[in-house]
A and B are shown apart, each in its own frame.
Chain A
């Protein structure tokens, strides 16, 4: 047993999914995509080699935000849109914690939009799970910032006229260092991405295409429906070609400055023409193009689209503590009070 080896994979054998399940009754609507996400998370955490008390789940407001109550870890259900700021404070004050922020499209892209982009910009080492169901569920069905143009909702009886945000584009625009996309119908992919995102140093954004059965059923159907799975999901793997389709004979090619779908064997296309995914590419151009791909013209890109290294705010904070100590003229408050200009009154 190489227990002392630094290369040992830190799988904590004692902990299982059950250990991460709280005693609270889960209250999402039957059939809600949130159940699968919760389960995938409870499967992912035992793989991270951390103890139960090392996790903190921080959420804002919305259906997704109830998530922390169902985890048996530390959890904080906060206020609408503000979870990135609270999670930032948690991570900076207690850097050993594995901090997960749970949010929805309204919570993070409408009321909390500012905190969302600034968390990504700072690259604090937290993981953000964005449950994107393109609707307000908890308030019973209003247009959200990701709702498709024209969507009829309670607040838009004639159809929505707001152009929707793309979480991924926004994240890259905010200079995010990690962006992955997954779907609530693929538990294996979710678990895998959760594990990977937790290993990324910096802010990880995971967009989960989640189905709200009650207010926006099948909004992601063009991607997630069984019959669309092969033709409209592109599962990206770093270093591998962007192939999809039942026969894995379709792929993404760069034609000039644009991506296009091609079929191997047609028009002289060979496997060599298909793009190889480079999640570590500093340049965001291709990642942006991948994020923008949509059915019916393209498959939806899933998996880790971008994972690049950049200094994290928490590490830089630590460095500044050290720097400040090296140059300090005092090492405690008593000395601080006595420093500088003082005088004695006799």
Chain B
């Protein structure tokens, strides 16, 4: 017994858990995350799971991964490359080794490496013996057999015993990064409240893993990642989808409306439905509709009836909702549409991330049909932008598309809990009777929005609909001049929103060689890349957009301060093309990646340096 080896202190570290989709890797990863968060680390996570719920065991298609970066410094991304990979079988090793930095630690369950399993994973021979791992520090741990040994005497069947091996692996990781097991032990008690044997087995496996790691000499050292300097306050851990759901409920409460959420299950948006369906006590109605179209239409019905109507989906579902979104724009009612983007087109890559619905959000309706488009840029600010989307839709009486994506939706990070009373006020433009005849298309002078007349209110009976309406009276009108007026009014109404949103911020000096421009979920990688370059004395700034339509008023002025503007997006260049169309004088370059994966900091830095 060698006792505890030396402890190395690190600023940040990336760890990746990978196994069969039935191996419980998401749970393992999220437990590690929560424990690290409680310890005070800053962090960001990235779950990477297959589209199939249970692809054949042991195949590369069935591998589920979870990556988390923890740090004592500010962490904006889950990390380009892992410092430690825990691989539960050959398939997990095969598909995940590419994400491990050269020289990193690879911990494998050596029990799972045999002829049959390499073959299934698509290896020619034993990867442990063919030299393919020579650039890594390989730690072979007989995880399955040690789990079995440690659980001897517990009256569980073999299958249940083997299922505890993820806890053994977590135990190893806890020792390796010097974290306490307490949080997970408590979690297990609560999770298996009704099955004490499972509490015992999982807890024992966790401890066995921890003490195994402490005892064996295979692990060179353990690491300490001290708490980050984080703004004081009360924190919780939150994922993008949960934050979006909470932001919407918070907005509904702030405006004194009930939330109506019409939705149809789709990856990666379904968790918003799951989350919201828990809060009926807060006046939330969730309506699982028969299809995407019914989902958005029921939400429009709710808004017409005077409540906050919201729907959510991913690209394929948003495509189906297009006609109804046009109706909401035409009748000038509030409607929030959440698009949790995924790889496309068509079914595409349901569990992978992409930013390719920008054009769909902007233009995906028949005729001239502008709406407001906002995007979140971190898992936790899905809360603020969902809230903003709800605020803008009622204050301006026009639909708002809120763009998130798979990376934000499933990613998570610590979040300083805001106080509801500090959230911006929401002023509802309720229609009022002032002794005159009621007209539904009378407009607010500054915003050009019409007023919200709620059915059930005496004296405001009126008819609206998808046919073109005469301005002011709202009567059906085929008058050519009126139609042109109304098309322009609907555009103008959206353009005027620029006067009600914050100016665009720039991270940096405000002028220089290259302005890096991004929007949405690429924020973490862009910020990390730009900060690292700035730290190395390069004249690079970042303007990361959350308000896409309309753009902040100062956008052009910012662009003019730089020699080059580089727009980085996870698509073929949709935002870049949009910016070029608005600011033809600005020379816009683009950098794109379309692999269903986020940018790595490394590739961003390389591209930016090329321009300097």
Contacts and interface: CB of A to CB of B under 8 A. Distances in A.
Interface string B286-330: 010111011101111111111101000000000000011001000
A345 B299 contact: no
Given A85-B301, A332-B420, A93 B232 contact: no
Contacts of A56: 304-305, 455
Contact of B301 (A87, A327, A344): A87
Contacts of B455: 53, 56, 74, 90, 94, 97
A73 B458 CA distance: 10
Contacts, number: 204
Interface in A296-346: 317, 320-321, 323-325, 327-328, 330-334, 336-338, 340-346
A51 interface: yes
Contacts of A97: 305, 455-456
B231 interface: yes
A86 B300 contact: yes
B229 to A, nearest CB: 9
Contact of B463 (A22, A86, A90, A91): A22
A69 B42 CA distance: 58
B99 interface: no
Given A76-B331, A333-B249, A337-B246, A345 B290 contact: no
B461 interface: yes
A328 B460 CA distance: 37
A89 B305 contact: yes
A344 B39 CA distance: 10
A72 to B, nearest CB: 6
A340 B465 contact: no
Interface in B457-501: 457-467, 475-476
B128 interface: no
Nearest to B230: A345
Given A53-B461, A337-B420, A85 B293 contact: yes
Nearest to B453: A74
B540 to A, nearest CB: 31
A152 to B, nearest CB: 31
Interface stretch (B159-167, B233-241, B389-397, B566-574): B233-241
A78 B330 CA distance: 10
B430 interface: no
Interface string A54-71: 101011010000001101
Nearest to A321: B280
Nearest to B252: A333
B597 interface: no
B236 A325 contact: no
Contact of B307 (A93, A323, A328, A331): A93
B281 A89 contact: no
Contacts of B324: 79, 82
A94 B235 contact: no
A338 B596 CA distance: 34
Contact of B461 (A72, A84, A334): A72
Contacts of A84: 294
A77 B467 contact: yes
Contacts of B399: none
Given A87-B301, A118-B290, A77 B457 contact: no
A144 interface: no
A317 to B, nearest CB: 6
A77 B290 contact: no
A84 to B, nearest CB: 8
A96 interface: yes
Residue with the greatest number of chain B CB neighbours at <10 A, chosen from A76, A328, A340: A76
13 contacts: A53-B457, A59-B465, A74-B461, A79-B324, A92-B260, A93-B258, A330-B281, A333-B250, A337-B246, A340-B236, A341-B38, A343-B234, A345-B230
Across chains A and B, which 10 residue pairs bring their CB atoms closest together, nearest first? A89-B301, A77-B465, A89-B298, A85-B297, A324-B280, A85-B294, A94-B305, A75-B463, A86-B301, A328-B281
